[in-house]
Amino acid sequence: MTPKQLLRVDLTEIVTIDISCPSCKAVSSLPIPAPYLTAEFRCLGCNVLMWGMGAHEPEIAFRHLVEALTTWKNFHHKASFTLGFSFDAVPSRASDSKV
């Protein structure tokens, strides 16, 4: 059996969500909680529309993620357990395999 190294991240440790632009590869980091989240989001690098103007599904999914992380940050101290994610210590990133 080969040992596997995992990196564990508690949900309370997540301070930003990074959004990568598929056009110019710029990364926008939004804080958690995201007090200035708008219904339309454009890339800060090239101004391409990421969501908004009729593309509601990405915005709704993103808002749910932000709300879940914010709620957990506010109430985790009341829970009798912790929540987190585990990642391979040496990941092969999905974004690295795309051309």
Low-confidence residues in the chain, pLDDT < 50: 98-99
The pLDDT assigned to 99 comes to 42
So where are the chain's domains? 6-91
pLDDT recorded at residue 94: 57
Taking the alpha carbons of 83, 21, 42, 16 in that order, is the dihedral positive or negative? Answer: positive
* pTM for the full predicted model: 0.70
**Per-residue b or e along 38-52, where b marks 16 or more CB atoms closer than 10 Å to that residue's CB:** eeebbbeeeeeebbe
Token pair of 23, please? 């056009």
- Tokens representing 83 are 């929540």
Q: What is the pLDDT of residues 28-45, one digit of tens each?
A: 998 988 877 778 888 999
